[in-house]
Amino acid sequence: MGGDKIKKDRRQKREDYRAAMRQEGISELPRKKFYRQRAHANPFSDHQLIYPPHPDQMDWSSLYPDYVIDEPHHQESPPSSEVPPDNSELAPLKPKRISKDVEVADIGCGFGGLLVALAPTMPDKLILGLEIRVSVTQFVEDRIKALRAQNQDARLYRNVGVLRANTMKFLPNFFRKGQLTKVFICFPDPHFKARKHKQRIVSTTLNSEYAYVLRPGGIVYTITDVLDLHEWIVQHFDAHPSFERIGEEEQEADPCVGIMRTETEEGKKVERHKGQKYVALYRRLEDPAW
């Protein structure tokens, strides 16, 4: 009974804290302990996910308000539009448009260390973190909000956002074919048991989806501290005809690799324990003639 009460108090505290953080104009960085959540969310179950039926129906304006295009009148739909313009019944939602597309995605972004470190290094690109755990996503949201407020004058962090999503199922709901130039998969959950390998975020069949959202020439960045998982990742991308491994020299010259090693939360943990980090980069190839 007493334990229950303590639990309840703690939950209440957490909720109060998070509610306070959601208020406008808060520039204090959120504290992780109020956002902890069970380590794993089952990627196979339904959850209560929100996602657009089609990328054209995704409303990006609340994530990247600085990039919203003011459209006094209903302008002509872009040529990429999937719906004939005269058939209004088929386009139930016409979200506010933004001036550029998300180009960089961090799959399973966790607490957002990579996003926040990348944002200032590529100010002209929109970066999106995708995370399946609700409160972890909320933490990143609050973190971005606070950073934007703290850097009001320099207008930093306007190009980074986060979404709750199960990337194993819904990537094509958010991104069109060839929309992305960089996909980060940093310290993914290892799922050691063979029975759980189907839950791994890298697999031959999922790699086809990464290839779909990446444009030719785009890069998948992977890093893990688990040798077995690294070998799994390498084996599965090597075996996939849409990807080719990027050589060590080019890899080490890529500034994103350094950031990935040192700025992710997991990367920092491994650093503290003086552990190994295994990196592999893959380039999206052109599709073969057909």
Partner 1 sequence: MILPFHLVKVCGDIVFAAQGCDIHSFSSSLRHISTWKYPALKADESNGASKETQDSPAPEEPPAKRRRVEPGAGSETVTNGEEAASENGRPKSKKAAQYDVPANERPFVQGLYATTDGRHLIAITGSDKTIWVFEHDGAGNLKQLSQRAMPKRPCSLTLTRDNRTILSADKFGDVYALPLLPSTTATPSSAPATQPPSRSSTPSTPASAPFKPQATELTVHTKRNLKALENQKISLDRKARQEQASQRPQFEHTLLLGHVSMLTAICVGTAPARTTSGDAAAGQEREQEGSPKVREYIITADRDEHIRVSRSMPQAHVIEGFCLGHEDFVSRLCVAPGGREELLISGGGDDYLFVWDWVRGQLLGKAGVLEHVKGVAGEEGATKVAVTRVFPCRWEGGVGVFVVVERVPALFRYELLKDNTLQHRETIPIPGNPLDVDALGTSGISPRLLVAAYPSTSSEGSSSPSLIALDKEEAGWRQTPVEDLSAGGGYNIGEIELQKILYSTESLRKLSDFD
Ligand X SMILES: C[S@@+](CC[C@H](N)C(=O)[O-])C[C@H]1O[C@@H](n2cnc3c(N)ncnc32)[C@H](O)[C@@H]1O
**Residue 35 CA, distance from chain mean position:** 18
Does the protein bind partner 1 through residue 75 (CB under 8 A)?
no
Give, as ranges, the residues between 20 and 59 that touch partner 1 (CB under 8 A): 39, 43-44, 46, 48, 53-55
Picked from partner 1, ligand X, none, the partner binding residue 109 (CB below 5 to 8 A depending on kind) is ligand X
What does the alpha-carbon distance between residue 276 and residue 230 come to, in Å, rounded to a whole number?
A: 11
What does the alpha-carbon distance between residue 113 and residue 167 come to, in Å, rounded to a whole number?
A: 19
Residues 215-254: x where in contact with partner 1 by CB under 8 A, - otherwise, as a string: ----------xxxxx-xx--xx-xxxxx------------
Q: What is the largest CA-CA distance in the chain?
A: 68
Does the protein bind ligand X through residue 55 (CB under 6 A)?
no
Q: Toward ligand X, which CB reaches closer, 84 or 258?
A: 258
DSSP string, 145-211: HHHHHHTTTTTTTTTEEEEE--HHHHHHHH--TT-EEEEEEES-----SGGGGGG-S--HHHHHHHH
Alpha helix locations (H) across the chain? Answer: 2-21, 113-118, 134-150, 167-174, 204-213, 227-238, 248-253, 255-263, 265-272
Give, as ranges, the residues between 185 and 224 that touch ligand X (CB under 6 A): 186-189, 201
Total interface residues for ligand X by CB under 6 A: 24
Which residues lie closer than 8 Å to 127 by C-beta, 6 or more apart? 102, 103, 104, 105, 106, 115, 118, 119, 159, 160, 161
Cα within 13 Å of Cα(105), Cβ side: 26
**112, 140 in Cβ contact below 8 A?**
yes
- Confirm whether 189 is a catalytic residue: yes
Least Å distance, CB 17 to ligand X, is: 20
262 is in an annotated binding site: no
Total interface residues for partner 1 by CB under 8 A: 60
From the list 55, 110, 161, 218, which residue makes contact with ligand X (rule: CB under 6 A)? 110
Q: Does residue 128 sit in helix, strand or coil? A: strand
Give, as ranges, the residues between 175 and 214 that touch partner 1 (CB under 8 A): 177, 190, 192-195, 197-198, 203-209, 211-212
From the list 138, 167, 207, 242, which residue makes contact with ligand X (rule: CB under 6 A)? 167
Binding-site residue positions for S-adenosyl-L-methionine: 108, 131-132, 166-167, 186, 264-266
Residues with active-site annotation: 189
Which residues are near partner 1 by CB under 8 A? Answer: 39, 43-44, 46, 48, 53-55, 82-84, 87, 89-90, 168-170, 172-173, 177, 190, 192-195, 197-198, 203-209, 211-212, 225-229, 231-232, 235-236, 238-242, 266, 269-270, 273, 275-276, 287-290
